[in-house]
């Protein structure tokens, strides 16, 4: 098993990509802590891991609240005795009107959710990892950081900041044998799109995902398992000589989709 005897804290692990990572890591022998505000879904993931013989806990946490983050990190270390892996997965798109109409609150809320939260968790996890001279930190960015697919300037700016944050932190922590890398997912079939699909039928939702897939060189949207596989690589010692990198896991983006064959 790639993560035998390891422990991981995954923010936003109750559903979507975070859930996929939690299940994948647990299958590889890792003890999992899920930090989320959606406790019903988080406990369902814990139950699934437990049924398969794994170890998992759920901790309710508002990732934009520094005291709650500090308490969460402390609780996880107390429970597991150590913390080997941090996945800053939680985030999401917030209200993003045109910049001339955007309020300060709308700007700040996107950066708090998608970037400041990563700072908070690293602030309290890093001292523990430094003391042990071992750690894996994975920060979730987005392909939108380098190829914005739509006008969400506050979200895309925050995700671009995650890339810079990752590179700087990786450089600072390299002497302590702590690897810090970022994942840049493309369009993935998750609850990220709930705000766009709330009024759609199942058929309409599927049509939307098929359309999004045509914008991707591999001609499909991603699934949570696609992101989980890349995260597993970064969390394991297979990536021991890799740090400070921003890894696109986006079906080939930012390459352009192949042109259709010419008519016969």
Q: How far is CA 236 from CA 7, 137, 140, 230, 232, in A?
A: 11, 11, 16, 10, 6
Q: Three-class SS of residue 91? A: coil
Per-residue pLDDT band at 93 (split at 50, 70, 90): confident
Q: Distance from CA of residue 52 to its chain's centroid? A: 23
Residue pLDDT, tens place only, 220-236:
999 999 999 999 999 99
- 227 token code pair: 């992101």
Position 152 pLDDT exceeds 70: yes
Ordered domains of the chain (ranges, CATH): 7-186+223-248 (3.40.50.720), 192-221 (no CATH)
Among 124, 134, 155, 193, the active-site one is 155
Position 194 pLDDT exceeds 80: no
Span 137-149, average pLDDT: 92
pLDDT of the residue at 195: 64
Per-residue pLDDT band at 79 (split at 50, 70, 90): very high
- The whole-angstrom separation of Cα 6 and Cα 29 is 7
Residue 178: beta bridge partners?
135
Handedness of CA 144, 145, 150, 154 (dihedral sign): positive
Active site residue 124: no
H or E segment and range at residue 31 = strand 31-36
Position 160 pLDDT exceeds 90: yes
Span 118-140, average pLDDT: 98
pLDDT of the residue at 190: 83
DSSP string across 204-244: HHHHHHHHHHHTSTTSS-B-HHHHHHHHHHHHSGGGTT--S
Percentage helix, strand, coil, to 5, in the chain?
50, 15, 35
Q: What backbone phi and psi angles, to 5 degrees, belong to 58?
A: -120, 135
pLDDT of the residue at 95: 86
pLDDT of the residue at 258: 81
Position 237 pLDDT exceeds 80: yes
């Amino acid at each position: 098993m790639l993560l035998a005897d390891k422990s991981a804290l995954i923010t936003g692990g109750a559903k979507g990509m975070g859930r996929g990572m939690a299940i994948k890591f647990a299958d590889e022998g890792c003890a999992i802590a899920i930090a989320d505000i959606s406790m019903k879904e988080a406990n369902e993931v814990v139950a699934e891991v437990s049924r398969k013989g794994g170890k998992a806990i759920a901790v309710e946490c508002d990732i934009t609240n520094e005291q709650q983050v500090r308490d969460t990190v402390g609780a996880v270390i107390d429970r597991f005795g150590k913390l080997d892996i941090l996945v800053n997965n939680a985030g999401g798109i917030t209200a993003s009107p045109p910049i001339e109409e955007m309020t300060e609150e709308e700007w700040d809320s996107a950066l708090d959710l998608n970037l400041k939260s990563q700072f908070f968790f690293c602030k309290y996890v890093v001292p523990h990892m430094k003391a042990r001279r071992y750690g894996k930190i994975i920060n979730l960015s987005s392909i939108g950081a380098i190829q914005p697919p739509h006008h969400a300037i506050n979200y895309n700016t925050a995700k671009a900041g995650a890339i810079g944050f990752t590179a700087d932190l990786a450089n600072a922590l390299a002497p302590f044998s702590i690897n810090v890398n970022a994942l840049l997912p493309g369009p993935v079939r998750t609850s990220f799109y709930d705000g766009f699909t709330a009024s759609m039928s199942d058929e309409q939702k599927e049509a939307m995902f098929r359309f999004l897939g045509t914008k991707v060189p591999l001609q499909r949207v991603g699934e949570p398992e696609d992101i989980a596989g890349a995260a597993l690589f970064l969390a394991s010692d297979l990536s021991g000589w890799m740090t400070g990198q921003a890894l696109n896991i986006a079906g080939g983006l930012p390459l352009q989709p192949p042109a259709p064959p010419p008519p016969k």
